[in-house]
Each structure stands twice: as C-alpha cells, then as structure tokens.
Amino acid sequence: MQKVILRCENLKKNFGQREILKGVSLKLMEGDILGFIGPNGAGKTTTIKLMLGLQSITSGKVFINGYDIETDFTKAIENVGTIVESPDLYMYMSGYDNLKLVANLYKNVDKQRIDEIVKLVGLENRIKDKVSKYSLGMRQRLGIAQAILHKPKLLILDEPTNGLDPEGIKEVKTLLKKLAKEEKMAILISSHNLAELDTFCNKICIIKNGEIVETNDIDTFKKDAKNNCYILEVEDSSVIGSIINYKMDILTEREVRVYIEKEDVPLLLKELILRNVKVYSASEENLSLEDAFLKKTGGNVIE
C-alpha cells in the first residue's frame, strides 16, 4: 500500500483583504509524479511556498511524511528536496565538489551516498569536470542530485525543463521516472508545459482562482474529458461532408474527425462503404493533456 507523503488540508492564504488560496486540499503518494498546473495567478507558487514553510498559512494544514510543516518544521522539511527553475551551482567548481559542498549541510551524507547519487543521475563520466562545461540538461540533473542527496521523501520542482533542449528534457524525464520508481520518491512538478507533463506524470492536479478544480490519474482525467470523437482515414476526405450528417472536421486530405457515439460507428462505416468510400481505419481520438485541460477548464489557457 502506498504511503501518503504530502497532504494539504483546506489551505487558505490571504494578503490583506485579498484571498489567494480558498481551501486547497491535495495529497501525494510515494512513487507518484504529480503535475501541478493552472493559469498564471491561479495560486501554484503560493501553494508551493506554503508547502515549504516559506510563507505563513492563514488557515489549514500541510503534512510532509506525517509531520506538520508549522509545528514540526525541522522534521517535515528534512524530508523535502526542491529546485525552483534553475539549480544554484558554482560554475567554476566540479560537479563532485558542488555535491560535497551540499553534503556538508547534512549529517548522514557520506562519500558512498554521493557516489550512489552520481550514478543515479547518470553523471559518472563527467562528475569531475567543471560545471561550466556541462550542458543545461547535465546541470539540471546535477541540481536534482543536490536536492536528493539526503534521501528526501518529497521532491518539489518548479519548471524543471525550462530552457532545456529536447535531449536535456529527455534526460530529466528519464531521471524523474527513475527516482519515483527506484527511490519511491513523491514528486510534485509545477509547469506550464502540458505536453511534457503528459509524457511522464501519472497524476494531475489543476488549480484555478485559488481552488483545486480536479485531482486525478492522468489517464482517467483525459478519458473523462473525451468528446466521443473518432478519426477516420479515408481515400479522399473532401467527399465525406456530402455523405454524413454528423458534425465533423476535415483534418487532412485523408483524415476526418467525426463527433459520434461509439455505438453509431458501425452504421457510419457501413454507410460509407455502401457509398464506395474507401475507409482504411477508424479509431477513437485520444485527447492530449492540454486538450483535456482546456475542455475541463472551459478554455482557460496556461499563460
């Protein structure tokens, strides 16, 4: 049974008369990667600051590995690793020396643990090089290595793939999935890049106007948002409009999106074939995370 690592209960935050958070509740289990998304100004950053004890909580509770962030701050925060956008690194020092410097902040991080983490993040061959010679992806992996030296139960990342090229993004995604699986780490990622989150998160949490809209498995979230759309591959899409009465979109010269219930698909295919339309395939359209997000939030884009 998965253990609850992070639990927020009815979090509220006011700045003067302005209510920023209006009762945010969520939980994150060990081994889960949660994408925390919402439009600018929705309350993502404020929520993260309350989780980390960086701002006072107006009302509500945050528990990390069972410890209250307000009453047991030291015990709660020792279970957390975090990076906000870019990691703090000394460019003139080697990757290994950067890790040793951070290791000195903790009691139980020895050379064996450093070597273990270096291997985990895949920097064995370059760890003695100066950080100034690292690619952006390597620097991000080194930053994550710093954040997890002390074996935290919770890793919080803000825009971890910002500014990375495709190879760097791939490196970070692979590492995060490895941490969740092998270290049983609970990972919370705040990001605007829904296409990237779609490829490696297994949970999603949407915040809008200081309130949680939905928390769910990504697959369930996307499935619930479906429009009953099917993609037909045909010989010539231009002739379809004059044959069928369903709402449809012509996507390409050979592809058509048809808005239709599943039980009506066989009848549609039969009608097209009787009309001598060559149909090569018919498949249910899979929504992307971004499409599902736009549908669930009524078109509120992430800016």
Instruction: Kindly report, residue by residue over 184-197, the tens digit of the pLDDT.
Output: 999 999 888 888 88
Q: In what order do the strands lie in the sheet with 211-217?
A: 80-84, 154-158, 186-190, 33-37, 203-208, 211-217
**pTM of the entire predicted model:** 0.81
CATH no. for 227-286: 3.30.70
- The lowest-confidence range among 54-63, 225-234, 288-297 is 288-297
- Among the ranges given (8-17, 136-145, 214-223), the one the predictor scored with the smallest mean pLDDT: 214-223
Q: Is the pLDDT of residue 136 over 90?
A: no
**Across the strands, what pairs with 189?**
35, 157
How far, CA to CA in Å, does 261 sit from each of 54, 87, 251, 264, 267?
Answer: 50, 49, 19, 5, 11
User: What is the pLDDT, as a whole number, of residue 303?
Assistant: 44
295 or 268, which is more confident: 268
Residue 299 DSSP one-character state:
S
Average pLDDT over residues 203-214: 91
Q: Tokens for 92?
A: 């003139």
Q: Indicate if the pLDDT at residue 217 is higher than 60.
A: yes
Burial (0-12, 13-18, 19+ Cβ within 10 Å), 172: buried
| Region 84-101 average pLDDT | 88
- The pair of three-digit structure tokens given for residue 224, joined into one six-digit string: 């619930």
CATH number of 4-223: 3.40.50.300
Residue 97 CB partners (closer than 8 Å, separation 6+): 90
Specify whether the CB–CB gap between 240 and 271 falls below 8 A: no
The answer to whether 164 and 136 have CB atoms below 8 angstroms apart is yes
**Helix 95-103 with 136-147: angle, nearest 10 deg:** 20
Mean pLDDT of 267-284: 87
- Measured CA to CA, the distance from residue 103 to residue 93 in angstroms comes to 15
Sequence spans of domains, the chain: 4-223, 227-286
At 134, is the pLDDT very low, low, confident or very high (cuts 50, 70, 90)? very high
Mean pLDDT for 181-209 is: 89
For residue 147, CA distances in Å to 89, 111, 153, 154 come to: 12, 16, 11, 10
Rounded to a whole number of angstroms, the distance between the first and last alpha carbons of the chain is 37
pLDDT at 24 over 90: yes
Predicted local confidence at residue 221, as pLDDT: 81
